[in-house]
Structure 1
Amino acid sequence: MFEHRYHMPQRTAKLIHEKILEKDNFLVVIHEHPDGDALGSANALGEMFTMLNKKYTLFCVTPTPDQFHFLPHTKHITSDETVWKQTYGAIIVCDSGDLRYAGIDELIKHQIDTYIINIDHHVSNERFGNLNLVIDTSSSTTEILYKYLVFNKMEINHTIATSLLTGLITDTGNFSNAGTSRHALAIASNLIRHGAKLNHIRKHILQDKNLPTFKLWGMVLNRLEYKKPFDFVYTYVTQKDLAACGLHEEDLEGIANLMNNLNEGNATLVLRERQDGTIKVSMRTMRDTVDVSKIAQSFGGGGHKKAAGFSIQGPIEKALENIWSTLEKTRK
């Protein structure tokens, strides 16, 4: 039988559960530009609080992508910063290695006697919480939440199951990237038995690309370049590209994982220009000898050994010069 408590810090999981049962009115925070793991985590916690008859608020500094609105609590996620004027029993930060990535490093200063619960799976996590349920060997934050619920004997209904499976599928690239493990696959199987709606996830997450999106992806893939000194393959997308196709940043989700199919290069980089002119860099590798999280950390970012990211000042040309010069210095 699969052991659901594998790598579960039991004392921390118990203390978090006791805090949730003891307190009322929680603030759940997910990182900016949220992905399926962050949104799946928020939805699972929202449903759990509903079942426990607890007050809660779901917060993200940026809007949520429309494709995740099939998860029922997504529509309750707010970006209204006035929620930080309230008092909470605890603030639960999910899927964020630090408060800067969550976008709340300044907002949280409005709170007095803040109690933070940190639930995450990034190896670069800074353990910023009063309680830190951080398991960097997990495929996703939703995998950790599943183990937490099982350990504390909490009910997993079909809404929670669908939310958690969404996070598992998106963070493992539909069980195709290096984050996929036998534990993730076993949990996915159990979530389906709990009523997870795989067809809903497939329709909204895996089969959601339209013609303009594929045209944009074609533009990005057509720009692929090989940087021989570092054995890296890279490409980029600008705000002008997005405007030309009538698309948004979230329409690029998945292209970094797609580049994992390349059998050339030690790592791949996708540079995305944001509206404020900064550049988001997503790094991926399938090589056991390469740790892209260490590279990301040198630019103030983080992530996992096989998938990481960071932000850097634009424009694209300047960002690339900065990246190559920094990497050259680290090699010396």
Structure 2
Amino acid sequence: MLELARQIHAHLTHRSARVVVVPHKNPDGDTLGAASAFVGYLRATGVDTTLWCKTGVSTALAFLPHADELHSNPAVWTERQFDTVCIFDAGDPVFAGAQDCINSLAVRPTIINFDHHFTNTRFGDFNFLQLDAASTTEVLFHYFSYVGQVINAPIATALLTGLMTDTGNFSNPATSESALRAGAELVRAGGNYTAILNYTYRNKSADALRLWGIALSRLQINKDLDLAYTVLTRADMTGFKVTDNDVEGVSNFLNSIGETKIALVLKETQDGMVKGSLRTTHDDVDVAAIAGAFGGGGHKKAAGFSVKGHLENIKGEWQIVGG
């Protein structure tokens, strides 16, 4: 990994004129934290850098460094003609929301891929993957140590955000000794643990909690499948000032149910899809394999998928129809 890190650093600092940094669409704390930290690193080395994401940033993550600079218009790709594309926390460029933009460039760019998911397709020219890492920001933490990048307070806060959100504030099964050591180093470097906690865990709106109430009122237990599940439709969101990101975490909450091994939340999205979020705390369950059956992926204990269709309650049971 040391040699690969040095190769990537050399490419970025000596052979890249215009770099675009890409978190995946509908960014969470890990992908945006990683992208934010990487922008800071590239700017410190004098690299011309643009931060782009297909979708906007939730207010819960707007505190991250460089979040206010994020572009969402695809036109910036053809205008700037990037020669290097850095993608974070995405199994492939389609999931990142960047494939069409990459295809629009006059000359194929060099693609650098940073991730920690075992379902990653190794789509990059450089693939810096650490499958045992708790988050992509932990992957970057190690990358920065390899290339001698000094981690200042803004970069530390960005990296710590990804670690905290992907480990459920160091409480879920992704929390490892390595993750805890990285977290301690990032706090020592100036990572603002309290600010991250306030923005990502203590900022639920009343409307978001009312929506959680709807989800919890529909909670069902399938003992045959060892499954606790619930659903949220687009109609449920009508009348509430909420975003898709406001309901993130319901699956983690259901994962605390002791009488089942798997938690599932099905949620209709604005683009005519149903998104499934799967969680488990049990070593003998692989939710990534379940997600894979529906074209998704993730980790053994936290995974997701999206399928075309909508949710309907048919004879007391919720089903995905119209796919």
Equivalent position SS for 2:77: helix
Equivalent position SS for 2:221: strand
Equivalent position SS for 1:125: coil
* Match in the other structure for 1:109: 103
* Match in the other structure for 1:27: 20
Q: When you count helix as a share of all residues, which structure comes out higher? A: 1
* Match in the other structure for 2:131: 136
Superposed CA RMSD: 1.6
* Match in the other structure for 2:60: 67
Cα distance in 1, alignment partners of residues 121 and 201 from structure 2: 32
Kindly report which structure 2 residues correspond to 1:202-213, keeping only aligned pairs within 5 A, or say none: 202-213=197-208
Cα distance in 2, alignment partners of residues 116 and 291 from structure 1: 30
Kindly report which structure 2 residues correspond to 1:50-199, keeping only aligned pairs within 5 A, or say none: 50-85=43-78, 86-111=80-105, 112-199=107-194
- For the pair 1:228 / 2:220, whether they are aligned, the reply is no
* Match in the other structure for 1:330: none
Cα distance in 2, alignment partners of residues 194 and 68 from structure 1: 20
Cα distance in 1, alignment partners of residues 35 and 258 from structure 2: 35
For 1:255, the aligned partner's letter is V
* Match in the other structure for 1:39: 32
Q: Which runs of 5+ in 1 are unaligned?
A: 1-8, 324-332
CA contact (8 A) 1:242 1:249 kept: no
For 1:90, the aligned partner's letter is T
Query: Which is worse superposed, 16-25 or 163-172?
Result: 16-25
Cα distance in 1, alignment partners of residues 207 and 318 from structure 2: 27
Q: C-alpha deviations, 1:109-157, integer Å up to 9, x for none?
A: 1122221000001110000000101111100000000110011111100
Cα distance, 1:11 vs structure 2 = 2.2
Q: How many residues align?
A: 315
Aligned identity (percent) is 40
Query: Which is worse superposed, 34-43 or 259-268?
Result: 259-268
Cα distance in 1, alignment partners of residues 131 and 237 from structure 2: 34
- TM-score, length-scaled by structure 2: 0.94
For 1:171, the aligned partner's letter is D
CA contact (8 A) 2:36 2:155 kept: yes
- TM-score, length-scaled by structure 1: 0.91
Cα distance, 1:175 vs structure 2 = 0.7
Cα distance in 2, alignment partners of residues 45 and 82 from structure 1: 22
Cα distance in 2, alignment partners of residues 159 and 244 from structure 1: 37
Cα distance in 1, alignment partners of residues 201 and 292 from structure 2: 30
CA contact (8 A) 2:274 2:320 kept: no
Cα distance in 1, alignment partners of residues 2 and 134 from structure 2: 18
Cα distance in 2, alignment partners of residues 74 and 180 from structure 1: 26
Equivalent position SS for 2:312: helix
Cα distance, 1:320 vs structure 2 = 5.6
CA contact (8 A) 2:153 2:190 kept: yes
